[in-house]
Structure 1
Amino acid sequence: MAPGAPLACALLREETPFSVIAMSAPNLILNVDSYKASHYLQYPPGAEYVSSYIECRGGEFPEAVFFGLQAFLREYLLTPIHVGDIDEAEEMLHSHGLPFHRAGWEHILQEHGGLLPLEISAVPEGTVVPLHNVMLQVVNTCPACFWLTSYIETALVRAIWYPVTVATQSRLIKGIIAGYLRETADSLDNLPFKLHDFGARGASSLESAMLGGMAHLVNFKGTDTVSGLVAARRYYDEPMAGLSIPAAEHSTMTAWGREGEADAYANMLDQFAGPGKIVAVVSDSWDIWNAIENIWGGTLKERVINSGGTLVVRPDSGDPVSIVCGSIERLMRIFGATTNGKGYRVLPDFIRVIQGDGVNRHSIPEILQAMQDRGISADNLTFGMGGALLQKLDRDIMSFAMKASAIRIDGEWHDVWKDPVTGPEKKSMRGRLALVNDRSGGVETIRLEELGERTNLLQPVFRDGRLLRETTFAEVRRRAELPPGD
């Protein structure tokens, strides 16, 4: 899915005149790589149907959380193309130095009402799929549009790899945190809020923030990326996918001046503290140790203790491992600590720490391990993750690919595959595919003709401009949930 305007425009649809929206709407024909425009001339004579699939061919994670297809379908494939799209695409692509299949697009407009004659089958969203297995399969439904299957690759792969990768990384981190909570905390009750999304400003576009922010919320419920909430509501019918709390930033604290630092913190308590309430205050604008020792643990100590709510202290600079451990241990010395049933120290309920600087999937276990080594429970800490959550990702992390695997020519299906001698890791699958449960409790990809009585986990979700199956965000979350003990 292309970064940029489409979802930004969608935010204004209810209040913007249709004529303005129409001018801004994306042209699906141009949502493509340049070379795709010439491919309709490259297939063998008699071509009728092309079947392609998407898989993760390898990478840094052992499995993938399939997510994001419904958002793409609702945003892009339920709206028909019109003659203006064809005219614009013809002018641009000809000027760009390429042929243009005007007859093919006019056929789609006249015979299919401008809706793409494609069938897309996929695993249910939220399904955790091991690498090297088919997750999605697409085939044209009109033999005159054999070229369309691969034409949609650019938009479809982009629409899938990014939310899948964010959701997969987020789930992996959830498993890491859950493991440390099991070892050092009395419960996992707070796990859904242990990784908070700070990534909106670091994303490449509003659309990226929406999709990535929503993908993170498949696994957690804490976020400051409001656009992710909008996306979950719009595309997966989730009224409210996540929560946040009042929190300070450096500008609101430093606006009081260094001499007014204690007054700035006191104001945060005045405005937001109280029974059952949580407030986070960034406390390293000048000296985090002075803030802990002499302001939170001195001037404002009794107010913190007696607020009835929870103060979350946020360090925001320095080495994350030493800063987190040092902050928690200082707070424990000042405010006390109890020992939980696992034998680890826990701050009083009225005070906690959130670390949002230098947080990524590598530093999180380093921080938690250092805490455990010092006898500190993981329950004391929440993480905020920004660019590493939504932006420092690419398609190669999981080696996403969409490849043609079968073609029907003059009524007969033939296998299509690649197997480069210089890159065996890029070998593709052959034939029309199915995904089934195997005897070991996992899944395996097989040829469709081998399915027999087994259930194909790839189910049609889109056909000829219609959404055949809809899933809710709650269903996605349930499928992606960690198994007990993980």
Structure 2
Amino acid sequence: MSTIAKRNIILNVDSYKASHFLQYPPQTNVVSSYIESRGGIYPQTVFFGLQMFVKEYLTQPITCEDIDEAREIFEIHGVPFNDSGWRYILERHNGYLPIEIEAVAEGTVLPVQNALVQVKNTDPKCAWLTSYMETALLRAIWYPTTVATLSWSCRQIIRRFLESTADNSESIDFKLHDFGARGATSEESAAIGGAAHLVNFQGTDTMSAILATRRYYDAPMAGFSIPAAEHSTITSWGRDNEALAYANMLEQFSGPGKLVAVVSDSYDLFNAIDNIWGEELKAKVEANGGTLVIRPDSGDPVSIVTQTIERLMQRFGYEENRKGFKVLPPFIRVIQGDGVSTMTIEAILAAMKQRKQSSDNIAFGMGGELLQKVNRDTLKFAMKASAAEVGGSWRDVYKDPVTDKGKRSKKGVLAVIKDNDGTIKTIPHQDLGQRPNLLTPVFRNGRLLRNQTFEDIRARARLTDYPTAVE
């Protein structure tokens, strides 16, 4: 079996791209394109993911076998193939793609409608290559950036409620846990999306994300988890032995400084809280030395969470913090992992606040909503050509459809700047002057030019807070 889908960059493309080398004006020497979010449900983007793509796909040269495979497939497929163009790259550039990619630093939070990436060919005989890269490059950007933006927006919501209902926000890094691996379309998707979530939080059960951050961003350990029950490990004891199943979790995993999560709705959540955890096992819970995390997993998330916390407070008591909100004892907490989205997080925390329950009591787990319920239109991502050098002269390249002004594209070679007031905006490169350009070279002709660590990316993502808008 060949490795077409993962390794042969020539075939990592939409079919129609193969014919585009014949469609540019004569003497087209350079094509410059950019990637941006044109809008969507969030007012900002958290740029992330380019380095993964560069390291995985662009730092290895194409081979004669890649070209032969692509030629055979495209010919059978029914579209032209630029055999001479790819063999020129193989012979003249030793198989490394003659393109330059500029980008803002990963982890940068910036308003939508700004260029995140700019790419151009570095060899005038390969002007067709810039837009040929659109399929692979745009996909490598829109997905992790969208997940990072969604996760960052959740962080802002949670942070806001911690600031108003808790004594401090120190627990925020573990307030949203990634449950999304099984709902992702592939292992690679789980790795990429899971890594994007870890830009903002440190809780994850997506092991692929841990491996991705180690491999591509030099992160020894970017995320953490705890022992946790699932329904099968509880129900295998039988309904009559539910208490024994819970007791076993405490015996196996509790202790000083330890956390253990136990799903408690296999039969009757409120019976489990009132009679098993809150009566039969109460002494063990109080003396476990660490923290028991109760997980409800069904029902309306807003009402279930507030009722769960209220019933636990009735059984185990609570303290009032300095802001007048009720906090469970440190040996017991709640995690909600069912039906969690940006909207339900806000709704749950608002309902808790109304009942004077501190957000310290709750953490969240998000699955499909985090890694899977996003698409290219969530942030209206696009890659468009904006300039071309033809016959020695540069010209603007753009679209401006009268039927949809939202698809109007930018003109010219671009730069991204930060104004004196801190506003980030995209301008024509010719207007840059002495101002620093936030678009800096990341890749050129087969070489990664800037290796960014995960630690630096995380720090950058936390520099700026924006209002969070969710539709």
For the residue of structure 1 that corresponds to 2:266, the secondary structure is: coil
Q: Secondary structure at the match of 1:44?
A: coil
Residue in 2 aligned with 1:393? 374
Q: Which amino acid aligns with 2:405?
A: P
Q: 1:307 to 1:238 in 2, by over 3 A?
A: same
By how many angstroms is 1:482 displaced? 5.2
| 1:234 matched to 2:215 | yes
Shift in Å, 1:441: 1.2
Q: Deviations over 1:166-222 (max 9, x none)?
A: 000000000000000000000101000000000000000000000010000000000
Determine the structure 2 residue equivalent to 1:56.
37
1:102 to 83, 99, 110: 83
5 Å-filtered alignment, 1:320-335, equals 320-335=301-316
2:437 aligns with 456
Unaligned runs of 5+ in 1: 1-19
Encode CA deviations 1:415-450: one digit per residue, 9 max, x unaligned: 100000001000000000000111321111111111
Partner of 1:156: 137
Is the partner of 2:203 in helix, strand or coil? coil
Between the aligned partners of 1:97 and 1:429, the Cα distance in structure 2 is 33
* Distance (whole Å) between structure 2 residues aligned to residue 27 and residue 163 of structure 1: 22
2:373 alignment partner AA? K
CA shift at 1:21, angstroms? Answer: 9.5
Task: Tell me the SS of whatever aligns to 1:303.
Answer: helix
CA distance in 2, matches of 1:281, 1:438: 50
8 Å contact from structure 1 (residues 175, 482) kept in 2: no
Give the C-alpha shift of residue 301 in structure 1: 0.3
Residue type of the alignment partner of 2:19: S
Paired residue for 2:114? 133
Which runs of structure 1 show a deviation greater than 4 angstroms over 4 or more consecutive aligned residues? Answer: 20-25
Secondary structure of the structure 2 residue equivalent to 1:156: helix
> Is 1:46 matched with 2:27?
yes
TM-score, normalised with respect to structure 1: 0.95
- Residue 202 of structure 1 corresponds to 183
- The equivalent residue for 1:13 is none
The answer on 1:249 being equivalent to 2:230 is yes
Residue 170 of structure 1 corresponds to 151
Q: 2:344 aligns with which of 339, 345, 363?
A: 363
- Rounded Cα–Cα distance in structure 2 between residues aligned with 1:152 and 1:146: 11
CA contact (8 A) 2:5 2:12 kept: no
Q: Distance in 1 between the 2:244 and 2:96 partners?
A: 61
Q: Structure 2: 5+ residue runs without aligned partners?
A: none
CA positional deviation for 1:328: 0.3
Aligned to 1:8: none
Aligned to 2:395, the other structure's residue is in SS state: strand
Q: CA deviation at 1:162?
A: 0.4
Q: Does 1:146 align with 2:127?
A: yes
Answer yes or no: is the 8 Å Cα contact 1:419–1:427 preserved in 2: yes
| CA deviation profile, 1:122-154 (whole Å, cap 9, x unmatched) | 001001121111111000000000000000000
Aligned to 1:292: 273
Distance in 1, matches of 2:35 and 2:380, equals: 10
Any residues of structure 2 matched to 1:328-343 within 5 Å, and which? 328-343=309-324
Amino acid at match of 1:181: L
Distance in structure 1 (CA, Å) of the matches to 2:437 and 2:2: 40
Aligned counterparts of 2:252 and 2:282: Cα–Cα separation in 1: 17
Q: Which moved more, 1:196-205 or 1:21-30?
A: 21-30
Would you say the 8 A contact 2:109–2:464 is kept in 1?
A: no
* Aligned counterpart, 1:17: none
Query: Partner of 2:394: helix, strand, or coil?
Result: strand
RMSD: 1.3
1:78 aligns with 2:59: yes
Identity over aligned residues, as a percent? 61
Give the C-alpha shift of residue 22 in structure 1: 7.3
